[in-house]
Amino acid sequence: MTPKVINLPAQATSDLHVDLAHESEVETTGKLPIPIVQHDGSSEPYHDPELVYNKDHISSDPSDERSNRVDDSVPRHWTWGYDKLKKLLSEAKGAASNEVVKFVTKHLAGTKLIFVVSKTRTGKTSILSELTGLESLQPGTTLKTGIIDDEQYLFIDTAGFGDPGQDDIETFRDSVSSLISFGPFVQVVGVLFVIGNPGTRLDQQDAKTLRWLQCFCGPDFYRNITFVTSFWDSYNERSFKQAYARMDSLREDANFAHLLDPSSSERRYHGAYLYHHGVTGGNLMPESYPGLDIEENRAERQEELKNLIRRRYAELKYKPVKLQFMKEVENKVDFVDTEAAKVLRAPAVGTTVSIVKGKCVVEAVAGSSEAPPFQFEPRPKVPQTSWTQTILEWWEIAVRAAKIYKDARMAEAAKEVSGIKRLWQGVSTWWKG
């Protein structure tokens, strides 16, 4: 797996391109860059020659405006993940890894991570392109980063489950590797689940992914999940009304309904949020037709998505909670025995998820006579070498993201200093004149 990084500006209106090969020459334009990490499918580990693990390479400039307001102490977001990552880096990279960890800790501090989940052909690539302002975003991109209202965001593209051509456990392992590499340094604030064009009912692939989502997140995290429908600008008036009517069927799906309105005899949980991309305000109504055209109304669609992120994730009005998966592994549950992994090993039919003692648990559907016997697939054996390689690949991506954020902030600070200097020179000239 060889990541390729393309660096582009955060503002859709800008034509500035920052070449990563010349990061030290970032222009002081104040426009904050977005790195795009793409994978070419290679199984070979990626070693970026620019990511030299030594103190001189990663030491920060004293003029870095973030250095005075960011605590570069040991990260506290996920101690289990941090300990695992530190041990692996120590074995693979040696003592030099300590300086790199401090660098990443400092420059990813305050960053918010959002997983973006869907199967193919749901409009996810277009949505991420509009959200980041990038015209050239291609399917298969794994990581997008950007800055909205001076807040740093990471968007990790996660494939759906249940595709016969993919190994679900391997797909999940890659997501966990990204979580181990980023999780200790950032705050996981949400999940965007892209549904795309709402059909009459969810298929087995959707159902498995929704069950995984429940077990990966846990009931306390449901409120941080946002469902996104799309393609509302692609209908004629008649088909728009039909698609609008199909939303009722979607809400009646058991897995979908459970996430929107979780019910439990134990306590009340806040459910997920439903957002309709391509209509004003994200609120779908009969009068929403014809929707916001993807070409003619691109700027408005972009602003709608940014408003969604602002409303949902910019200022969390409640105490942050960890993903259920993160809490399970902290309690020494093996990866393949977490509820999120078990749901991927469970039968496609006759499986449900219930809330038991504050966590999501995989169970057989009660009284289901038509379903096959409820039995998990055998526990897969994941070689340690596979974990090591994948985590190190994601770690190099994390280092690169931190470096780009650092350069972006320095460019922004340099522009502010330059502006103040020009203002003072103008005042001085006026005074002398």
Average pLDDT for the chain: 76
- CA dist 293 to 112, 197, 232, 307, 322, Å? 29, 15, 9, 18, 37
Looking at the structure, do residues 348 and 282 belong to the same domain, yes or no?
no
Q: Higher-confidence residue: 168 or 14?
A: 168
Look at residue 43 in the predicted model and tell me its pLDDT: 39
Looking at the structure, do residues 339 and 289 belong to the same domain, yes or no?
no
- CA dist 85 to 63, 88, 395, Å? 30, 5, 9
Looking at the structure, do residues 221 and 348 belong to the same domain, yes or no?
no
Looking at the structure, do residues 273 and 352 belong to the same domain, yes or no?
no
Looking at the structure, do residues 111 and 205 belong to the same domain, yes or no?
yes
Tell me, yes or no, whether 111 lies in a domain.
yes
**pLDDT-derived band at 3, boundaries 50, 70, 90:** very low
* Tokens describing residue 170: 């391997």
Look at residue 96 in the predicted model and tell me its pLDDT: 62
Q: What average pLDDT score do residues 182-200 get?
A: 87
Q: Higher-confidence residue: 389 or 263?
A: 389
Looking at the structure, do residues 106 and 122 belong to the same domain, yes or no?
yes
Q: What average pLDDT score do residues 218-227 get?
A: 96
Looking at the structure, do residues 360 and 225 belong to the same domain, yes or no?
no
- CA dist 339 to 36, 48, 218, 255, 329, Å? 31, 35, 10, 16, 11
- CA dist 30 to 147, 406, 417, Å? 12, 13, 11
Contact 242, 264 (CB under 8 A): no
Q: With CA atoms as reference, report the closest residue to 329 among 315, 317, 319, 341.
A: 341
Residue 202 has pLDDT above 50, yes or no: yes
Could you tell me where the DSSP H helices lie in 108-253? 124-132, 168-182, 204-217, 237-252
Looking at the structure, do residues 195 and 269 belong to the same domain, yes or no?
yes
Tell me, yes or no, whether 395 lies in a domain.
yes
Model pLDDT for residues 362-382, shown as the tens digit of each residue: 999 877 666 566 787 877 777
For the range 164-170, what are the long-range contacts, defined as Cβ-Cβ under 8 Å and sequence gap of 24 or more? 168/208, 168/344, 169/336, 169/341, 169/344, 169/345, 169/380, 169/382
Q: What percent of the chain shows pLDDT beyond 70?
A: 72
Q: Which DSSP string do the residues of 79-146 spell out, in sequence order?
A: HHHHHHHHHHHHHHHGGGHHHHHHHHHHHSTT-EEEEEEE-SSSSHHHHHHHHHT-SS--TTEEEEEE
Looking at the structure, do residues 228 and 349 belong to the same domain, yes or no?
no
**Beta strand 141-148 with 33-39: parallel, antiparallel or unpaired?**
antiparallel
Q: What average pLDDT score do residues 340-351 get?
A: 91
Looking at the structure, do residues 134 and 74 belong to the same domain, yes or no?
yes
Looking at the structure, do residues 356 and 270 belong to the same domain, yes or no?
no
Tell me, yes or no, whether 298 lies in a domain.
yes
- 43 backbone dihedrals φ, ψ, rounded to 5°: -90, -5
Residue 104 has pLDDT above 50, yes or no: yes
Model pLDDT for residues 286-333, shown as the tens digit of each residue: 888 888 888 888 889 989 999 999 999 987 777 889 999 999 999 999
Q: What is the domain range of residue 154?
A: 3-328+382-416
- Which letter does DSSP use for residue 148 in this model? E
pTM comes to 0.78
